[in-house]
Structure 1
Amino acid sequence: MFRVMLFLLLALSSSLTAFGAISLVDASGRPIVLDQPARRIVALAPDIVENLYAVGAGERIVGRVSYSDYPSQAESIPLVGDYQRFNAEVILSLQPDLILAWLEGNPEAELRRLESFGFKVARLSTKRIEQIPDNLRLLGRLTGMVPEAERVADRFEARLRGLKPESKGVPTLFYQLWDNPLLTVSDDALIGQAIKFCGAHNPFGGRPEAAPQVSVEAVISAAPDLIVSTDEVGVAWQTRWLNWQMIPAVRRNALYTLSADHIHRATPRFLDGLDALCGAVASARQYAGVKPR
């Protein structure tokens, strides 16, 4: 009889954990309280969609923004707009019990408008590498998928520890975020954090904006040992630099293209992009500090 009662108590405890109230604080410092794990979710950034699938909660997504295309089954989820302009009426029709937002990217005024309709909005930040496993765990709590989220987050952290780069030599790296206008990144962005992690120097890292606009003359003056961009910029970005042979990176053909889906998205796949970035930095490390002739 005692064993039967113990079994029932354990089962009840498990049920309360899976379906009980959830209380936490999001990246903006706002408290988020759910009566039960979220079942109908609108995700307002591609990386949030990807991370929900990573923790086993992809089937809970009822609305997504454009470019939320990984994994492939996400493309069948109804669109609610893009990350800067989403359709509140469509979101209303989907009746989500939780909206997951990108703190640095979604317009705050629109998020507050959604909250005025009675929706619960949790904001996630993606400015730091360590926030990726933190966000995975947070999504696990919000969806009741804690064990799977812990496994995915633990795997991320273990692989991240294994990517620790060499400390000898600090090459200067110019990251070309876009071509027209010419945009780069500061240290106050996920990619800027990746550059520091790989042991390179970002000459524009101290700029206050996350994606500062720079001139070709400023890049020439910075004399980067390597220039890195992504397939998002296109296939001709390297050719545009060939006129500037006084730049060490151009003269040595140290121009590298990464996958934007990897290095720009704060998901488990980010480590693939980080690994590729660190590989590019390692190849340029031998030239760090070498002046052009």
Structure 2
Amino acid sequence: MLLLRSFIVLWLCGFVQFAQATQPCVQDDLNQPVCVKQAQRVLVLAPHLTEIVDFVGGLDRVIAVDGSSNFPAAVNSLPKLPNPWVLGAESILARKPDLVLVWQSGISADVVVQLRKAGMPVFVSEPKTVAQVATTMQRIALLLGTQSTAYPKVDQWLARFEQLSNRFKGRAVVPVFYQVWRQPLMTLGGQHVVSEVIGLCGGRNVFSDLTNLAAQVSVEGVLKRNPAVLLSSGSVEDHRALLKQWAPWPGLNAVQRSHVYTVPNDLLVRNGPRLIDAAEQVCDHIEQARRQEP
């Protein structure tokens, strides 16, 4: 993790020199240049990006957000747009933003192309690791002109991950199954940031060998891999449903030892600043199971 932080600093140092020569420019997650000087009218079309903008100190620049953005509470006073998949380039341009932030998996690629042809700076985000979340924060801060206060916050954020890594380094590995969906039964593969978080806690995603970010699996497959922890995201009601779902298999290690957990909605499934809060909860759950392992 220390090497990760050093890499991010070096990457940004080289980049900022270029940015200062003209105007702030970054490469988005499609490796496309995005240039704007201290954006003042920002349109944000993904919940994790809304949270990132707030984290780096730019929420006062936001003119509208997508309908799913609900954190922090202040975003609920902002205009909310329909699902980005149904938004056309014309409706986005009509709001006269000077920067548009979008999630690659949550918007039509054709709309992005049309916006760029119209000269609109568009930052396309698809962070898949803790490091990529950190650089997303830093790149957006640079476009907003808030880097002087945002960069130290990002560094502190990464330091919390480093502390978790150091805390659980060398401890017994705990097999974990993360459930995305019940029917069909879905999980996450080894390339997803949730798998990275589990590993950070000294756990092991039992389906880390899957190359897809998400994949359908069978109950038999889960039973065969016999996780010591069953983990999902959801509400208290979702947790009750998870317990009921797996109760018919009392021989499953996680069920037998009562290590079936849910992390509150939106914490673990949004690749933004609250990912560290989710990681700390995941680590606590894995540690409880570790202490009861024979």
2:178 counterpart (150, 175, 188): 175
Deviation digits for residues 120-153 of structure 1, max 9, x if unmatched? 2112232001222212211110001111211220
Return the offset for 1:79: 2.3
Does 108-117 or 63-72 show the bigger shift?
108-117
In structure 1, the residue matched to 2:23 is: 21
Structure 1 Cα separation of the partners of residues 110 and 99 of structure 2: 17
In structure 2, the residue matched to 1:208 is 211
Q: Which residue of 1 aligns with 2:39?
A: 38
More helix by share: 2
Query: Unmatched 5+ residue regions in structure 1?
Result: 1-16
Change (3 A) 1:150 1:125: same
Cα separation, 2, equivalents of 1:287 and 1:61 = 48
Q: 1:191 to 1:84 in 2, by over 3 A?
A: farther
Q: Distance in 2 between matches of 1:28 and 1:216?
A: 36
Q: What SS is found at the alignment partner of 2:187?
A: coil
- 2:230 matched to 1:224? no
* Aligned mates of 1:112, 1:188 — CA distance in 2: 27
| Cα pair 2:186 2:216 within 8 Å, conserved | yes
In the alignment, residue 196 of structure 1 is paired with which amino acid? G
Aligned pair count reads: 271
- Structure 2 residue ranges without an equivalent (≥5): 1-18
Taking a change above 3 Å as real, the CA distance of residues 199 and 31 of structure 1, as seen in their structure-2 partners, is same
User: Alpha-carbon deviation of 1:105?
Assistant: 4.1
Q: Which whole-Å CA distance do the structure 2 matches of 1:188 and 1:85 have between them?
A: 29
Task: Read off the aligned partner of 2:110 and give its amino acid letter.
Answer: A
Higher fraction of strand: 2
* TM-score where L is the length of structure 2: 0.85
Sort the Cα spacing of 1:243 and 1:68 in 2 relative to 1 into closer, same or farther, 3 A. same
Quote the offset at 1:104 in angstroms: 4.3
Q: Report the identity percentage.
A: 28
User: What is the RMSD of the two structures over their aligned residues, measured on CA atoms?
Assistant: 2.1
Partner of 2:287: 282
Scaled by the length of structure 1, what TM-score is found? 0.85
The structure with more radius of gyration: 1
* Preserved contact between residue 164 and residue 200 of structure 2 (Cα < 8 Å): no
Distance in 1 separating the partners of 2:84 and 2:245: 30
Distance 2:142 2:38 in 1: 8
Question: Distance in 2 between the 1:259 and 1:248 partners?
Answer: 23
Measured in 1, the distance between the counterparts of 2:96 and 2:160 equals 38
Do the aligned residues in 2 keep the contact of 1:182 with 1:213 (CA within 8 Å)?
A: yes
Q: Does 1:192 find its partner at 2:195?
A: yes
